[in-house]
Amino acid sequence: MQPNGTAGQPTDRPIRSVGVIFAMEAEGASVADTIGLGPPEPLHENLPMRIRRGRLDDLEVTMAFNGIDSDHQVDRIGTEAATLTTWMLLQQQRIDLLVNAGTCGGFQAREGHVGKVYMAGYGLYFHDHRVNIDGFREYAEGPIMLSHGSVLAGELGLDSGPVSTGCSLDVTPAEIRFFQERGVIAKDMEAAAIARVARDMGIPCIAVKSVTDIVDSDKPTHEEFLRNLARAVDRLDEVVISLLRLLAEGRTLDRI
Ligand code: ADE
């Protein structure tokens, strides 16, 4: 049996096909329109996940969205939907590089501000998976190590560092300590879940995250998120388009 991860892949492998996963329609619909991707198609007849496909020059681009929950009419944010979207996308499409693009909470202690876009670097954690048993603790909280993204971060002028994923928008005091101890620069709800599936499937994965709210401030997170979403998405769109243009120039795995 092959070990999971991407370590065994040839470093000069060309990237011809990129998958971009967004949790929310609002995070990715405008960039999909700008690139001229096709209309939404279901990933599965029973599930809300949708893809939009097209090309940027010679680069095949597939954007995937977690879709709208039919009971509550909101986007299916969070790790469960992200895992399922990633699995279905990688099963159904030939993808050379997976990108998770979305919004995040930033940290003023690490110079975060609304609209700042980060590239995940070093590794991805789960900050709300607490299992105090040796072995399970490390499995539960990560990090899931990242092998790619540093070259692109440099070219795009993005700061890079650990990102941590959980299923809540707000934070507990224990989670604040978790972020401080690990130097987390961005808190989101999907990246680590996506990276874990990508790693199992041997597909290289990177994540770009745009700040909507500041975790270590006293402003209510949900109010800041809603107030700043459009601004953060505008910045995210610019970065995603620049990233895809760099990939469309013709990149190999060792040059991302
Ligand atoms: N997405 C945007 N802001 C977030 C936050 N504070 N926590 C988790 N996901 C987010």
What pLDDT, on a 0 to 100 scale, did the predictor assign at position 7?
Answer: 58
The neighbouring-strand residues paired with 117 are: 210
CA of 10 to the centre of ligand 1 (A): 35
Nearest CA to ligand 1 atom 5: 105
Nearest CA to ligand 1 atom 7: 169
What pLDDT, on a 0 to 100 scale, did the predictor assign at position 12?
Answer: 82
Structural domains in the chain, CATH included, are 17-255 (3.40.50.1580)
Nearest CA to ligand 1 atom 10: 104
| C-alpha torsion 116→242→197→73, nearest 10 | 70
Residues 6+ apart with CB under 8 A from 133: none
Which member of 60, 188, 190, 213 is catalytic? Answer: 213
What pLDDT, on a 0 to 100 scale, did the predictor assign at position 99?
Answer: 98
Q: Report the candidate in 117, 93, 148 with the shortest Cα–Cα distance to residue 241.
A: 117
The neighbouring-strand residues paired with 60 are: 17, 55
Residues 6+ apart with CB under 8 A from 122: 143, 145, 146, 160, 161, 162
Residue 14 preceded by cis peptide, ω within 30: no
Q: Ligand 1 test: best mutation among 100, 103, 179, 218, most atoms within 8 Å of CB?
A: 103
What pLDDT, on a 0 to 100 scale, did the predictor assign at position 11?
Answer: 75
Told to judge if 213 belongs to the known catalytic residues of this protein, a careful annotator would answer: yes
From first to last of its 256 residues, the chain has per-residue pLDDT tens of 344 556 567 778 899 999 999 999 999 999 999 999 999 999 999 999 999 999 999 999 999 999 999 999 999 999 999 999 999 999 999 999 999 999 999 999 999 999 999 999 999 999 999 999 999 999 999 999 999 999 999 999 999 999 999 999 999 999 999 999 999 999 999 999 999 999 999 999 999 999 999 999 999 999 999 999 999 999 999 999 999 999 999 999 999 9
Ligand 1 pocket, Cβ-based, cut-off 6 angstroms:
103-105, 169, 187-189, 212-213, 215, 221, 225
Told to judge if 27 belongs to the known catalytic residues of this protein, a careful annotator would answer: yes
Amino acid present at 139: Y
C-alpha torsion sign, points 146, 117, 256, 17:
positive
